[in-house]
Amino acid sequence: MKKAFKVIISVFMSLVLSFMLVSSGFATEAQACECDKAPVIFVNGIGGMIYSTDENGEEYSIFPIETETMVSKILTYLPPAVINGIFGGWDSFAVSLDKMVTELFIGMDCDNEGNSVLPAYADECDPATMNEHLDDNEFNFLYDWRLDPYESAAKLDAYIDEIIEATGHEKVIINAYSEGGEIALAYFDAYGSEKVEMFISQCSAFQGLTLIGKLFTNDCSVDANQLANFLGTMMPAANVDDGVTTFLKVLKYTGIYHLLTAVVNKVLDECFDTIYNGFAKDVFACMPGVFNFVPAEYFDDAIDMVFGDDPEYAVLVEKLTRYHNAQVNAEKILKAEQEKGMAVAVVSHYGCYPLPLVGDMSYQSDALIDSANSSGGATFAPMGQPFGSDYKQEVSDGHNHIAPDGSVDASTCMFPESTWFVSGFSHWCYSTNLIEWLEAYDGQPTVTSNPEFPQFLVGNPADNTVSAMK
């Protein structure tokens, strides 16, 4: 009886096993996709949700900070700050303000090695399934934007593997936006492009931004005219309603801007060191994902200024230096992958004044990132001062790479044949029709592949489309 039972069990087990093998064989076959659309992975910018769990095991968001927490902390710390300011002068105001800001951001803190102090995790990525591929074919890769981009790149690599496995496609398209460009560059540096058919870089921060360079080298100030200029171009570009624009004009012409900026500058002047040490340094500089926004030319000064020779930060500085090297060698890294067959398409927005903290409103930006950086080195005329008729293209390669509006010379950028410029689009606009065309393109698209999408385009913020610049 016992023996018979054993036989039955083993027959049953073998049946189960062979069924599993067969069905997994079926599964793989059924999952190989026949379509010619490579799965697209959208690597988003800074600002994705980050969670932690409290002592009762309840999930809560450490970013964005929950409204209740924010309100209660501001109510606790702001009144004493003001009172201290009135009776104790700027120093005690600064100390109280710093305490409030530190309390506000405490959940987001990273330690001296650039790791989250609290156990934290980002929002979940879209499921790597065939349905997701057949549905809208855009997989959102979400990550903890505070951390070392190489850590996020490792997660991206695992996610790509899952998508390849689920769809049967051999390669994916990486569409990176803003900080996503930093993650993508770290990815190509560490893993190459074996699994990537096309890299689309949109308003990407892979070369950093002046604003962060200035912030970490203690060189920020606010100018009323800059603020007015910035808001004046920003609002139409962001398609904000007319009411707000009118309100801003009122602020400008009544001189309230000047008053406002005078107050901010006074605060910056009087409290900068305290706020800077507590806030910029302790909160943001220890986030590698944020510090890596420092452009190459500010890097040494920023490291000196923020970390000095403090051995406590050695591990963090090493992480930051690794990305800095990739940033400096970006052209080499990307061109090596292009030679192996990966298509590269860069999209850069310009024609917006930069945030009014940088003390220089002449350079072209998408209101946040310098267009020279997001385009990988194009030459721009100062805002509102197009090149003269005697301007000569920097690098002559037999094509015209100067914009019809006289503001851009694309001949100096890393990929002059596959970089597109959108005038009048802020960082938060999206070139829907251009991106769709790029994603569907087989091979390396260039600025002459489609007359609808020449190198220089004008953005329409109302519907997030672009058209050829005349």
CB-CB contact of 196 with 173 (8 Å):
yes
User: Residue 335 or residue 399: which is nearer to Zn ion going by CB?
Assistant: 399
Q: Given the complex with Zn ion, which of 273 and 397 has the nearer CB atom?
A: 397
Applying CB under 5 A, what is the total number of residues that bind Zn ion? 5
CB of 425 to Zn ion, least distance (A): 23
- For Zn ion, which is the closer residue by CB, 20 or 35? 35
- Quickly list DSSP for 73-138: HHHHHHHHHHHHHHHHHHHHHHHHHHHHHHHHHGGG-B-TTS-BSS--EEPPPPP--HHHHHHT-E
CB of 414 to Zn ion, least distance (A): 12
Q: State the nearest-atom distance from the C-beta of 33 to Zn ion, in Å.
A: 3
The structure tokens listed for 88 are 């104790």
Nearer to Zn ion, 27 or 75 (CB): 27
Are 219 and 348 within 8 A, CB to CB? no
Q: Is the dihedral of CA 385, 388, 394, 399 positive or negative?
A: positive
Provide the minimum distance between the beta carbon of 180 and Zn ion in the complex, in angstroms, as a whole number: 23
**What is the C-alpha to C-alpha distance for residues 468 and 470, in angstroms, rounded to an integer?**
6
Count of CA atoms in the C-beta half-sphere (13 A) of 467: 5
Three-state SS at 349: strand
Tell me the residue nearest to Zn ion as measured from the CB.
33
Binders of Zn ion in range 183-202 (CB under 5 A): none
Q: In the bound complex, what is the minimum distance in angstroms from residue 417's beta carbon to Zn ion?
A: 5
Name the minimum Å distance from CB 411 to Zn ion: 7
Whether the bond into 127 is cis, omega within 30 of 0: no
Q: For Zn ion, give the closer residue by CB, 310 or 397.
A: 397
Whichever of 91 and 170 has its CB closer to Zn ion, that residue is 170
- Residue in 421, 95, 53, 133 with CA at minimum distance from that of residue 270: 95
Residue 95's nearest CA partner among 216, 87, 71 is: 87
Query: Cβ closer to Zn ion: 354 or 416?
Result: 416
Is residue 413 within 8 Å of residue 378, measured between CB atoms? Answer: yes
The least distance separating Zn ion from the CB of residue 198, rounded to whole angstroms, comes to: 15
The binding track of 395-424 with respect to Zn ion, each residue x by CB under 5 A or -, is --x-x----------------x--------
Q: How far is the CB of 392 from Zn ion (least distance, A)?
A: 15
For residues 178 and 407, which CB has a smaller minimum distance to Zn ion in the complex? 407
> Please, which of residues 368-397 interact with Zn ion by CB under 5 A?
397
Q: Which of residues 308-337 bind Zn ion (CB under 5 A)?
A: none
440 is an interface residue for Zn ion by CB under 5 A? no
Q: By C-beta, is 21 or 35 nearer to Zn ion? A: 35
Cross-sheet strand order for the sheet of 50-53: 59-63, 50-53, 121-122
Q: Which of residues 272-311 bind Zn ion (CB under 5 A)?
A: none
Residues in contact with Zn ion, shown as a per-residue x/- string from 232 to 251 under the rule CB under 5 A: --------------------
Q: Which is nearer to Zn ion, 35 or 83 (CB)?
A: 35
**Which is nearer to Zn ion, 37 or 281 (by Cβ)?**
37
Task: Look at the block and give the residue holding tokens 């073998």.
Answer: 14
The least CB distance from residue 344 to Zn ion, in Å, is 14
Site residues for Zn ion, 27-56, by CB under 5 A, read 33, 35
The residue among 137, 200, 196, 142 whose CA lies nearest residue 172 is: 196
The tokens describing 119, both together, are 């156990």
- CA quadruple 364, 320, 48, 67: dihedral sign: negative
Contact between 85 and 93 (Cβ < 8 Å)? yes
Distance CA 237, CA 253 (A): 21
DSSP string spanning 352-381?
Answer: BPPPTTBS---S-BSSSSBHHHHTTS-EEP
Q: How far is the CB of 133 from Zn ion (least distance, A)?
A: 6
- Footprint of Zn ion on 142-171 (CB under 5 A): none
Beta bridge partners of 199: 174, 344
d(CA 432, CA 142): 21
Closest CB 196 distance from Zn ion, rounded Å: 16
Q: Which residues bind Zn ion (CB under 5 A)?
A: 33, 35, 397, 399, 416
